[in-house]
Amino acid sequence: MKKVYCIGELLIDFVAERQGSDLSKANVFTKKAGGAPANVACAISKLGGNGVFIGCVGEDPFGKFLLETLKKEGVDISLAQLSKTFTTLAFVSLSEDGERDFVFSRGADRELKYNPDLRKNLPGNILHLGAATALLGGPLEKTYTKYLFDGLTKEMFISFDPNFRIDLWKEDEETFIKKCMPFVEKSHLCKFSLEEAQLISGKEDLHEACDVLHKAGTKIITVTLGKDGTLLSMNGTKKVIPSVKVAPVDTTGAGDSFIGCLLYQISDLGNFEPVFEDFSLVEKMVAMANKAGAITTTNYGAIVALPTKEDLEK
């Protein structure tokens, strides 16, 4: 089974549960491990895959807690880095229907340094670029771009999730779009939310949005549509793959669970060629990933809610 290198932020989610979706009215917060790339690495490892996390946390109790959490879930943290800067924090409020509100306090995640020694281990494996904070400047953004180049030169399967957060890009969405485009152009698989697909493509119609994004360069597109499932677009074919019905309590991490499950299945193949050629194969993979994402919404917190292989087989 191939390794999946997940690059980006690992942070503390301070979650206000069942206190509405307005953070200003929340009083009690619960500490949970989070960060999109870390969630994906955990999703892969909990399913029995080889998730590797590459990111930076602070040399503080929060950073220690985060790395221990990933290690407990079976994630390879040998490439994680420590910084004197405080660990990144996110404050999340959740309404009864699982919708959320975010505020970030950015710290150590931006300090990730590029590791050239890693290049010898990359060929034939999978690179997932799914950070919410990677395009905000600092060492992390430069490192992110260097690993994209490594992924291309080392013939890796490259996955990109823009993870757009309005709080991070208020009144600067054009910059976000511009910075995303090189990754859309070079990645084999792009996972978007409906909002992200429309924003980055400039098209309201989802089929037109996919056409624009394919023209940019990416071969396989998945657009997650919540309870309505996922639109899969590849090789000129588009189809909405239905999800399973659940009663959601927390949507945090559902998209990470989806892409983690999809990458886990791809990593289990002997080679990547069938993924580019066989629509029915990828359709089955997306259906399983939909189930993983749905299960994740039935519990609070991203990592603790991620399903195991046994959960998916029920």
User: Tell me: the pLDDT tens digits for 181-210?
Assistant: 999 999 999 999 999 999 999 999 999 999
Please report, for the chain, the start and end positions of each structural domain, with discontinuous segments joined by +. 3-303
CATH topology assigned to domain 3-303: UDP-N-acetylmuramoyl-L-alanine:D-glutamate ligase (3.40.1190)
Q: What is the DSSP string of 207-258?
A: HHHHHHHHHHT-SEEEEE-GGG-EEEEETTEEEEEP------S--TTHHHHH
Least-confidence region, from 93-107, 126-140, 228-242: 93-107
How high is the pLDDT of residue 299? 86
Q: What is the mean pLDDT of residues 247-263?
A: 92
Least-confidence region, from 26-30, 54-58, 236-240: 26-30
Edge-to-edge strands of the sheet including 237-241? 50-54, 3-7, 126-129, 157-160, 189-193, 220-224, 230-234, 237-241
- Taking the model in full, what pTM does it have? 0.94
**Inter-axis angle of helices 173-186 and 139-153, to 10 degrees?**
20
